[in-house]
Homo-oligomer: A and B are copies of this chain.
């Protein structure tokens, strides 16, 4: 723990951390910011690479978050700051008085896939998801549904965007998420004998409840407006779609992902009779 109070937004630590509010800064430093007591607590308790915790010295730290800080206090730096400094490092209208600097996830994709070679798995592959709220909600839902891992392809919103992280409700820290080109991930799944199911309204697409989801499987969900890109869709073993009974043109991407991953998990857990 460090006890000197930082009150200047010109402080070098504050200036460096402020850069993490932008994707460029996050990519340069390979770190990101997490705000709010609940998410900071999740980051600490899940063993994420928390480097620094900054808290508003005028406010009480949430007790559960404080316990999480104390458990890891030998590894992390804890810094009291003024409300103005905290405001400089947060994006929400009502910041909760605490923010953490966290190292990006360094889980190794090749290693993870090797370790999974001899068991079944369900992966969720995301192709060019653009909306941070959608991406965060999809990760939250994937974790709840027991998805084994998520692969975020090229051209997506930044995984470490503040709104993505807030929308995950902490799932980001509990889920295996990899940033990889989807064609590469698909090739690896196929090498292991897995099947690729692509969400698509193509003519030969199966209604989502008719598909087979057992064994090793990768489900691919596409961009909010355009769906899965042709390059990725062409790599599918089969196509699935969610029927639209009304006059709606589409479902929200997070809702569609939720319906698909839950259906897949249900088939895996309670295989259909036929």
Q: Which residues of B contact A146 (CB under 8 A)?
A: 245-246
CA separation between A133 and B252, bound complex, in Å?
11
- What 0/1 readout, one digit per residue, does chain A (230-259) give for beta carbons within 8 Å of chain B? 000000000000101111111110111011
CA separation between A222 and B257, bound complex, in Å?
21
Which residue from chain B places its CB closest to the CB of A169 in the assembled complex? B248
Query: What's the nearest-Cβ distance from chain B to residue A1, in Å?
Result: 28
Any B CB within 8 A of the CB of A143? yes
The answer to whether B143 and A266 have CB atoms under 8 Å apart is no
In the complex, the count of this chain's copies comes to: 2
CA separation between A146 and B242, bound complex, in Å?
12
Any B CB within 8 A of the CB of A109? no
Cross-interface CB contact of A137 among B143, B252, B265, cutoff 8 Å = B252
The answer to whether A270 and B209 have CB atoms under 8 Å apart is yes
The answer to whether A141 and B251 have CB atoms under 8 Å apart is yes
Query: What's the nearest-Cβ distance from chain B to residue A268, in Å?
Result: 10
CA separation between A265 and B246, bound complex, in Å?
12
CA separation between A244 and B171, bound complex, in Å?
12
Query: What's the nearest-Cβ distance from chain B to residue A43, in Å?
Result: 14
